[in-house]
Amino acid sequence: MERIASFCVDHTTLQRGMYLSRQDGDVLTWDIRMKRPNQGDYLSTGAAHTLEHLFATYARNSAWSSGVIYVGPMGCRTGFYLLTRGLTPAQALELATASFRFMAAYEGGIPGASEAECGNYRDMDLPAARAEAAAMLPVLEALTPDKLHY
């Protein structure tokens, strides 16, 4: 089997940030890397799960919602994938930054966190999710569209 694109990225040098991972036709896959790989510091499952619910809800209700295809966590617990269509790199960066700003300040019930709406609704940790989003926000705010490549 051929090695998939994400396994071709050198994870020994990868830093926190946002990167264009791949382009498939008009769909762009963004790597929102919140943690340096293989350094022992990973997103807890509760934080990642909460961020997933908040990120997806915000993105799908934002001004950029028509360009959002998918938001989901990486299995390695170092970040998220954001798939977009029809958004420029600048717009994708604006969306990610606005999403993390929203998540860092979020208070209230977690969207979709009920037994009827989620397959593991008890595994949520809003304080940890807020802290992780707040820690990533300055990284995103410092980026420019020309810096979104590995």
Q: Average model confidence (pLDDT) for the chain? A: 97
Over range 115-134, report the average pLDDT. 98
Q: Whole-structure pTM over 0.75, yes or no? A: yes
| Phi, psi dihedrals of residue 20, rounded to the nearest 5° | -75, 110
- Residue 92 belongs to a domain: yes
- Residue 145 belongs to a domain: no
Judged against a pLDDT cut of 90, whether residue 140 lies above it is answered with yes
- Residue 124 belongs to a domain: yes
Looking at the 3D structure of the chain, how many domains does it have? 1
Torsion of CA 73, 145, 13, 47, to 10 degrees: -30
Contact 145, 47 (CB under 8 A): no
pLDDT digits (tens, 9 = 90+) for 30-72: 999 999 999 999 999 999 999 999 999 999 999 999 999 999 9
- Residue 146 belongs to a domain: no
- Residue 94 belongs to a domain: yes
- Residue 144 belongs to a domain: no
Q: Specify the CATH number for the domain of residue 34.
A: 3.30.1360.80
Give me the percent of the chain exceeding a pLDDT of 70.
100
CA distance 100 to 94: 10
pLDDT score at 5: 81
Q: What one-letter code names the amino acid at 131?
A: A
- Residue 147 belongs to a domain: no
The model's confidence at residue 113, banded by pLDDT at 50, 70 and 90, is: very high
- Residue 68 belongs to a domain: yes
Give me the percent of the chain exceeding a pLDDT of 90.
94
Q: Which domain holds residue 107?
A: 5-139
Judged against a pLDDT cut of 90, whether residue 119 lies above it is answered with yes
